[in-house]
Amino acid sequence: MTKWVYTFGDGAAEGAADMRNLLGGKGANLAEMSNLGLPVPPGFTISTEVCTWYYANGNVYPAELTGDVESALAYVGKLVGKTFGDPANPLLVSVRSGARASMPGMMDTVLNLGLNDVTVEAVAQASGNPRFAYDSYRRFIQMYSNVVLDFPHHHFEEVLDGFKADNGYTLDTDLGADDWKEIVKRYKALVEHELGKPFPQDPQDQLWGAIGAVFGSWMNQRAIVYRRLHSIPESWGTAVNVQAMVFGNMGDSSATGVAFTRNPSTGENALYGEFLINAQGEDVVAGIRTPQNITETARIEAGSNKPSMEKALPEVFTEFNRIAGVLEGHYRDMQDLEFTVENSKLWMLQTRSGKRTAKAALRIAVEMANDGVITREEAIARVDPAALDQLLHPMLDPKADKAVIGSGLPASPGAASGEIVFSADDAELLKSQGRKVILVRIETSPEDIHGMHASEGILTTRGGMTSHAAVVARGMGKPCVCGAGTIRVDYAAGTITSGGVTLKKGDILTIDGGTGQVIAGSVPMLQPEMSGEFGTLMGWADGVRRLKVRANAETPLDARTAKNFGAEGIGLSRTEHMFFEAGRIRAVREMILADDEKGRRAALAKLLAAQRSDFQELFEIMDGLPVTIRLLDPPLHEFLPHTDAEIAEVAEALGVSAAKLAARKKEFDEFNPMLGFRGCRLAIAFPEIAEMQARAIFEAAVAAEKSTGKPVVPEIMVPLITGKREFDLVKNDIDSVAKKVEEETGAKLDYQVGTMIELPRAALKAGEIAETAEFFSYGTNDLTQTTYGISRDDAGTFLGTYIQKGIFEVDPFVSIDTEGVGELVKIATERGRAVRPKLKLGICGEHGGDPASVAFCEEVGLDYVSCSPFRVPIARLAAAQAALKTQAASQA
């Protein structure tokens, strides 16, 4: 018989930390804390298997679940001495979601469940605090109506704001018991008026409504978007945690808070968090009230005049500090904690591995390894390679002039500039148009997640360091400033005002998530420097990885950037990018317009010196590291003007008729140029192009070897071949040029000629191609396009739908399709190395910087990956993690 419900409390639990797939992260950790003897309100977890059953069986529950829940409620009631639904001594509960992967704020929560018109009086009498009882009841009505009855919470806020205004109140804490009674009355009337039926009074109806809402929230839009952004499978489902309520809103000896055992922004080994006296949990994260600091040190640094928990509740603070240390030591990782204090008694509501910035992740991992808490290998595995992208963004130039108009909390590091937008939808729209935006909100909610993802950075005027905006921005690696209270946001007028300055929608705004500054206009940025913990961890990673990491680079700036980030060579230099410079495009066009080979060679001769200079500089920058240069690849029409006006202008500059230029352009126009006259087809039809490029490469190699004193071994790559005969024709021309250069210079050239495998036929014929090709580089951008028959440039119209409907798990242009494209890579690898055992193999598509694709390359046994310069650190760490997984699998 399947077990659907697992209880916990009073120092014992039916679950444990290693049962997160079944109990979800929250449920597993509540069970673990109970087993550790920590103060956890008793409760029970309805497993993720119920969620799976629920959606697989037409949104109905297993038959046994009702009885199992009743038994668990009785168990909890016995522990706390209360009975669920009892009018005189009621057990009140919270109902929370809890997936196996942390999804902060994405699913729904209901607190104070079990309150109704009768039980609220019992709570008031038992506590001796009617204000607390009715405050809790109004919160329950608002949360339950929003989560379960789908009645928007802002309607309740309007009622409350109007009441406070009419009575001269500023804060919620200004309201007394009679005030909350009146609010409850108005809330209930509002619900009945809008929904046509009274607010539910039966606690059993309330409970099952809330359980259904939590399961339903697994499929709400914000959860779907979050899962897509974080690659969380829909099939995992969520658990439901039902827990006896403890109350932080019972007076000045009660509180609620959120804390981290280390600073989640910087990684500093110091308790970090916020709390509120006389409040419930949602008050802290919603930004409704400005929270107070946990520690006295943090209060002083923040310049706050509100007492810290260390001073206001010293005994509770001491106990909390002890428990934080116990939990970090037990889990061997920085923990994110939620707690409530009820009448000076501390209760732990949650622990989980805390979300952190890349900067913090690096520091925490390195310090824990140096302290012997974890191994170096564990430290390498602890840092998400993709998160390193956060460290690679520019920071504000400290010497630049800045028109600071306000400041807030430095919630997520990095700096960003963009146009002001006030809604998530506008952010997403402008992002789709290629524009950079800063999302400005009074406070964010989970419904804003798509706009936060589309924005360069986020600014809010409310909320603290653990607010929704702060937590989500840190997870996304977006700069964020929260709680900028001096800035006034007017949604209706589309303006922000601060310090006498008013900016409107569309104006440029800069935020600095490291300092909390908000700046009018754009500010010059500085490139990051990789040092400290970054250098330490990357050194450890380099010590365990097998895969080499190269960069895609063709400009000196790209090459230097890549080398600074630890690239071990250039895996793809796209020579066509060098042709688009103003001084060279004319010669290219002359070559295209030439009527015969002689004319083409004359035009190409003008490009030789420039190409030679380009290649020599790359060789010198890389200083003996390998450099792979791809011969001209794109269709020739890309170099020609497009509009009539451009054709007339270019024709005049070249001294030819516009008619001839237009006619020539028409000759090269193709219905599908990406499958047309490009790649090796150009080199075969016009061998003089490849010959000029080969000569430039070889002459540059000779010169660079002399200037650096290091051997230069260029790797020349022939693009878009379908078989051996094509490759051999081009290779023969390259070899002929090499002999001529050797004769002319007296130098002995050491070089390799290989090919890109970017067409399915080439992958299938790899064995034959490897007879003469000395290396393969998988061009997975085009290999994905030609395998799927999908144009990467046009796929955006339907890829989202395909992912949403489960046809693709992820965008195949972002992460390699291991079953299709990957299978072709495996076939080509096996067949190529069967002929040439030491065949050098790499990948040079955008997948080279994707951690999942890097792991695939390790599995297949490639020699290197090549990616954009700023993704080199990501690939280095991903390669190390892949190597560690391979080692672990071989030892299992």
pLDDT in tens, 25-63: 999 999 999 999 999 999 999 999 999 999 999 889 999
- Over 60: is that where the pLDDT of 106 sits? no
Burial of 387 (0-12, 13-18, 19+ CB in 10 A): buried
- Over 60: is that where the pLDDT of 659 sits? yes
Q: What is the mean predicted confidence (pLDDT) over 372-383?
A: 96
Whole-angstrom distance, CA of residue 75 vs CA of residue 78: 5
Which of 689, 590, 702, 579 lies closest to 631, judged by CA? 689
- Over 90: is that where the pLDDT of 200 sits? yes
Whole-angstrom distance, CA of residue 700 vs CA of residue 713: 11
Whole-angstrom distance, CA of residue 394 vs CA of residue 525: 5
- Over 80: is that where the pLDDT of 410 sits? yes
Please report, in angstroms and rounded to a whole number, the separation of the first and last CA atoms in the chain: 32
- Over 90: is that where the pLDDT of 765 sits? yes
- Over 70: is that where the pLDDT of 582 sits? no
Residue 409: pLDDT band by 50, 70, 90 thresholds? Answer: confident
- Over 70: is that where the pLDDT of 700 sits? yes
Q: 108-160 pLDDT, tens per residue?
A: 789 999 999 999 999 999 999 999 999 999 999 999 999 899 998 889 999 99
Higher local confidence (pLDDT), 328 or 233: 328
- Over 90: is that where the pLDDT of 172 sits? no
pLDDT value of residue 636:
79
Q: 7-33 pLDDT, tens per residue?
A: 999 999 999 999 999 999 999 999 999
Given the residues 51, 480, 482, 844, the one annotated as active site? 844
Portion of the chain with pLDDT greater than 90, in percent: 68
Task: At 604, list the tokens.
Answer: 């190409």
- Over 90: is that where the pLDDT of 813 sits? no
Q: What is the mean predicted confidence (pLDDT) over 356-385?
A: 94
- Over 70: is that where the pLDDT of 524 sits? yes
Q: What is the mean predicted confidence (pLDDT) over 338-361?
A: 92
Q: C-alpha 750: how far from its chain's center?
A: 43
Q: Does an H or E element contain 114, and which?
A: none
Residue 323: pLDDT band by 50, 70, 90 thresholds? Answer: very high
pLDDT value of residue 358:
83
Task: At 545, list the tokens.
Answer: 């990885």
pLDDT value of residue 133:
95
pLDDT value of residue 49:
95
- Over 60: is that where the pLDDT of 511 sits? yes
Known catalytic membership, residue 330: no
Higher local confidence (pLDDT), 672 or 858: 858
Whole-angstrom distance, CA of residue 607 vs CA of residue 613: 10
Asked whether the CA dihedral 254, 257, 261, 265 is positive or negative, the reply is: negative
C-beta separation of 458 from 478 below 8 A = yes
- Over 80: is that where the pLDDT of 810 sits? yes
Query: Which amino acid belongs to residue 878?
Result: A
pLDDT value of residue 465:
65
Residue 446: pLDDT band by 50, 70, 90 thresholds? Answer: low
- Over 60: is that where the pLDDT of 475 sits? no
**Mean pLDDT score of the chain, rounded to an integer?**
91
Q: What would the 3-class secondary structure string for 562-593 be?
A: HHHCCCCCEEEEECHHHHCCHHHHHHHHHHHH
SS3 651: helix
Given the residues 468, 480, 482, 680, the one annotated as active site? 468
Q: 247-268 pLDDT, tens per residue?
A: 998 889 999 999 999 999 889 9
Q: 829-851 pLDDT, tens per residue?
A: 999 999 999 999 999 977 998 99
Q: 768-807 pLDDT, tens per residue?
A: 999 999 999 999 989 999 999 988 766 766 877 887 788 9
Known catalytic membership, residue 844: yes
pLDDT value of residue 795:
72
pLDDT value of residue 202:
97
Least confident piece of the model among 211-220, 390-399, 478-487, 670-679: 390-399
Q: 739-764 pLDDT, tens per residue?
A: 999 999 999 999 999 999 999 999 99
DSSP 8-state symbol, 461: S
C-beta separation of 116 from 207 below 8 A = no
pLDDT value of residue 618:
97
pLDDT value of residue 632:
93
- Over 70: is that where the pLDDT of 288 sits? no
Task: Return the residue matching tokens 């729904």.
Answer: 108
Residue 466: pLDDT band by 50, 70, 90 thresholds? Answer: low
* Long-range CB contacts for residues 773-776, cutoff 8 Å, separation at least 24: 773/727, 773/731, 773/832, 773/836, 773/839, 774/836, 774/839, 774/840, 775/628, 775/715, 775/717, 775/839, 775/840, 775/841, 775/842, 776/828, 776/829, 776/832, 776/839, 776/840, 776/841, 776/842
Residue 655: pLDDT band by 50, 70, 90 thresholds? Answer: confident
Least confident piece of the model among 89-103, 471-485, 722-736: 471-485
Q: 708-719 pLDDT, tens per residue?
A: 999 999 999 999
Whole-angstrom distance, CA of residue 621 vs CA of residue 569: 10
Higher local confidence (pLDDT), 796 or 75: 75
pLDDT value of residue 443:
87
Higher local confidence (pLDDT), 655 or 277: 277
pLDDT value of residue 85:
93
pLDDT value of residue 588:
86
At a CB cut-off of 8 Å and minimum separation 6, what does 56 contact?
Answer: none
SS3 346: strand
Q: What is the mean predicted confidence (pLDDT) over 587-594?
A: 84
Task: Return the residue matching tokens 């010959």.
Answer: 691
pLDDT value of residue 845:
77
Whole-angstrom distance, CA of residue 228 vs CA of residue 103: 12
C-beta separation of 655 from 740 below 8 A = no
C-beta separation of 172 from 288 below 8 A = yes
